[in-house]
Amino acid sequence: MKETSKHITDSHGRTHTYLRISLTERCNLRCTYCMPEEGVPLTPKAHLMNAQEVFEIAKIFVDQGVTKIRLTGGEPLLRKDFPEILSRLATLPVTLSITTNGISIDRHFDLLKTHGVKTINLSLDTLNAEKFKKITFRDYFAEVYRNIFKLLEAGFRLKINAVLMKGVNDDEIMDFIQLSEKYPLIVRFIEFMPFDGNQWNRQKTVSYQEILQQVNAHYGEGKVLRLKDAPHDTTRNFKIEGFKGSFGIISTVTNPFCDTCNRIRLTSNGRLKNCLFSSSETDVLTPFREGKDILPLIQENVGSKFAMRGGLSAPEDFNNPEEHTKNRSMIRIGG
């Protein structure tokens, strides 16, 4: 008998095929927008998914139609068992990718290539070493910057993620785009989002419109080409005529893309989050350890997903910190 195709859908008809797994809450940077100033209480190791659990839980999702898995964190490369996790996940029929701060990515090129990882998302918010220290509280600019070129030389497809914050790095938009003139990379400007302890307010965000206005004024509107976005892409993609690479804008707050969302998040301690903005979570690790079937929990979690931004659907919802900071800090979710 032909097996019916399986998938995880929500009540708004969206099918979820993309799982983002956070491997750790630890990080070697302290980005102000991600890690609260006072740090975060770390979950004891015994309560985090081990390599075998990451694989087995991921497999349940893949059996239900997930075709893409991204490893994130915290800094995923800090997991000592990262090679084991990656090699196990590579046995599943999925596209694997990783989001990293790039500090130590060059030590893993062979491993990544062996297991079919072709695209790397590297986060870098400034091209200025002093500013890097102010944003991250650490002095690793040289390593990260060097790794951009090592990644390109090694043949990886590279996306650079920059979180834009007014008065901090919004004066560097053109410098970042300029990188795409000679290099075939994709620079993505991410709107600063509110999470627990990150001192967010609307005035610090740089909107989709503001970015485009700056770019159009600099290059001339006719030179800024709108590219076709891939299905489910959260990025609105553009290119400057004649440049090798491209740039994009991810504007969760001012220009959301929830209609086509296909993402589910699994935190390093095995909690399912159906939206980055959702303040509710489902523990799947405890029942999994007790030998229970976690599929009904997954279906229930995704089934109850809000149509938009975890229920923060009105722009005014972002005026009230009570509403938008009920969530975990980003470092403990996994971006």
What is the contact surface with ligand SF4 in residues (CB under 6 A)? Answer: 27, 29-31, 34-35, 73-75, 101, 123, 331
96 strand-pairing partners: 69
Residue 34 binds ligand SAM (CB under 6 A): yes
CA distance 223 to 45: 51
193 binds, among ligand SAM, ligand SF4, none (CB under 5 to 8 A by kind): ligand SAM
Q: What residues from 110 to 129 belong to the interface with ligand SAM (CB under 6 A)?
A: 123
Alpha-carbon distance of 73 to 49, in angstroms, equals 13
Evaluate whether 331 touches 30 at the Cβ level (below 8 Å).
Answer: no
> What residues contact 156, with CB distance under 8 A and at least 6 apart?
109, 112, 117, 118, 119, 120
Shortest spacing between CB 65 and ligand SF4, in angstroms: 28
CB of 216 to ligand SAM, least distance (A): 24
Of the two residues 31 and 261, which places its CB atom closer to ligand SF4 in the complex? Answer: 31
Q: Is the dihedral of CA 185, 189, 193, 195 positive or negative?
A: positive
The reply on whether position 193 binds ligand SAM by CB under 6 A is: yes
Residue closer to ligand SF4 by CB (options 138, 326) is 138
Amino acid at 203: Q
Phi-psi region of 243 (alpha: psi -120 to 50; beta: other; left: phi over 0): beta
Per CB under 6 A, does 197 bind ligand SAM?
no
- The SS3 call for residue 44 is coil
**Cα-flanking dihedrals φ and ψ of residue 259, to 5°?**
-55, -35
Closest approach, Cβ 294 to ligand SF4, in A, equals 26
* Partner interacting with residue 206 (select from ligand SF4, ligand SAM, none; CB below 5-8 Å by kind): none
From 161, 251, 278, 282, residue interacting with ligand SAM (rule: CB under 6 A):
161
Residue 73 as a binder of ligand SAM (CB under 6 A): the answer is: yes
**Nearer CB in complex with ligand SF4: 35/250:** 35
> Which residue, 145 or 219, is less far from ligand SF4 as judged by CB?
145
Task: Indicate the residue type of 243.
Answer: F
Neighbours of 5 (CB within 10 A): 7
Binds 32: which of ligand SF4, ligand SAM, none (CB < 5-8 Å by kind): none
Least separation, in Å, of the C-beta of 55 and ligand SAM?
20
161: partner contacted, choices ligand SAM, ligand SF4, none (Cβ within 5-8 A by kind): ligand SAM
* CB 230, min distance to ligand SF4, A: 24
* Inter-residue contact 43 to 269 (CB < 8 Å): yes
Q: Given the complex with ligand SF4, which of 102 and 302 has the nearer CB atom?
A: 102
DSSP secondary structure string for all residues of 147-204? HHHHHHHTT-EEEEEEEE-TTTTGGGHHHHHHHHHHS--EEEEEE----TTS---GGG
Q: For residue 330, state whether it binds ligand SAM (rule: CB under 6 A).
A: yes
- Choose from ligand SF4, ligand SAM, none: what does 35 bind? Cβ within 5-8 Å by kind: ligand SF4
The answer to whether 109 contacts ligand SAM (rule: CB under 6 A) is no
Q: How many residues does this entry show for the chain?
A: 335
* Contact call for residue 192 and ligand SAM (CB under 6 A): yes
